[in-house]
Amino acid sequence: MDHADTQVDKHNPGVTIAPLFKDEYEEVSMLHIPPNTRFKAEVANGAELFILNGSFVKAADVLQKHN
């Protein structure tokens, strides 16, 4: 998919989503989340996160670059 598919996340102001892959089993997207952004996500079957730059804090967990 190309950058023309990139869209603004309507639930998280400032966050952009670029869909990469989707089939009947999974959906893969790249998100750009600006620093100090509160990000809300409802994921029915869980999520796998790979941090390319910076860090992401969820409750007591801090996910760092390349985690």
51 and 63 Cβ atoms separated by less than 8 Å: yes
Q: What does the pLDDT read at residue 1?
A: 45
CB 40 within 8 A of CB 11: yes
pTM of the model: 0.72
Residues 12, 39 contacting (CB under 8 angstroms):
yes
In angstroms, the CA 65 to CA 54 distance is 6
The rounded distance, in Å, linking the Cα atoms of 62 and 43 is 19
Mean pLDDT, consecutive 10-residue stretches, the chain (67 aa), reads 76 91 91 88 82 84 80
Tally of domains within the chain: 1
